Amino acid sequence: MVKYVALYRKPADVEAFDEAYFASHLPLVERTPGLLRAEVAKVTRVFVPGFLGEHELHIVAEMYFESADAMKDAFRTPEWQAAGANLAEIGGVELVAMVAAEVVA
């Protein structure tokens, strides 16, 4: 199993970003073919201050796929492309770092 992790910095207008993220972006992501599960968590505390520099974390999103190939296939779908376009529209592209990780335990 592979998960795609998105770490979002705290936006200038948290309320507006959250409204757009949960009302428009997340529903688009959830329609992606091949996506097994998506989890979104709001960061309440960072235990190693300074690890990420000056950036305060706001949201951690994890999207699970059966395999790296399934994830790559999902990234080519119109649904995933629409989610990416939406993320740019709501200002999330400037706030996010994304990584893929193989689940080993």
Tokens of 86: 């939406």
Closest CA to 12 of 105, 95, 79: 95
- Cα separation, 4 vs 18, whole angstroms: 20
Question: What fold characterizes domain 2-102?
Answer: Alpha-Beta Plaits (3.30.70)
**Tens-place pLDDT, residues 52-79:** 667 789 999 999 999 999 999 999 999 9
74 φ, ψ to 5°?
A: -65, -35
Residue 46 confidence (pLDDT): 80
Domain layout of the chain by residue ranges: 2-102
Pair 84, 17: CB distance under 8 Å: no
- Tell me: the pLDDT tens digits for 74-103? 999 999 999 999 999 999 999 999 999 999
